[in-house]
Amino acid sequence: MKGFKLALLQLLTTKDKTETLKNAAQWISKAKNKGAELVALPECFNCPYGTEHFAKYAEEIPTGPTSDMLSTAARENKIYLVGGTIPEKESNRLYNTCTVWNPEGQLILKYRKMHLFDIDIPGKITFKESDVLSPGNSLGTFKIGECKIGIGICYDLRFEELAKLYRNEECKMLIYPGAFNMTTGPKHWELLQRGRAVDNQLYVAAISPARDTTAGYVAWGHSQVTDPWGKVLVTASEKEEMIFADIDLTECDNVRQQIPISKQRRTDVYNTIHVKKN
Quick check: is 128 catalytic? Answer: no
CA distance 155 to 119: 10
Q: Which of 113, 129, 147, 164 is catalytic?
A: 113
Nearest alpha-carbon partner for 40 in 156, 176, 218, 203:
176
Q: Which of 154, 164, 190, 252 is catalytic?
A: 154
Quick check: is 154 catalytic? Answer: yes
| CA-to-CA separations, 176 to 75, 131, 217, 265, in angstroms, rounded | 23, 22, 19, 25
Q: Which of 37, 43, 238, 251 is catalytic?
A: 43
HEC sequence for 165-228: HHHHCCCCEEEEECCCECCHHHHHHHHHHHHHHHHHCCEEEEECCCCCCCCCCCECCCCEEECC
Neighbouring-strand partners of residue 10: 241
First to last CA, the chain: 34
> With contact defined as beta carbons under 8 Å apart, do 173 and 152 qualify?
no
Is 137 buried (19+), middle (13-18) or exposed (0-12) by CB count in 10 A?
exposed
Nearest alpha-carbon partner for 82 in 96, 95, 70, 72:
70
Active site residues: 43, 113, 154
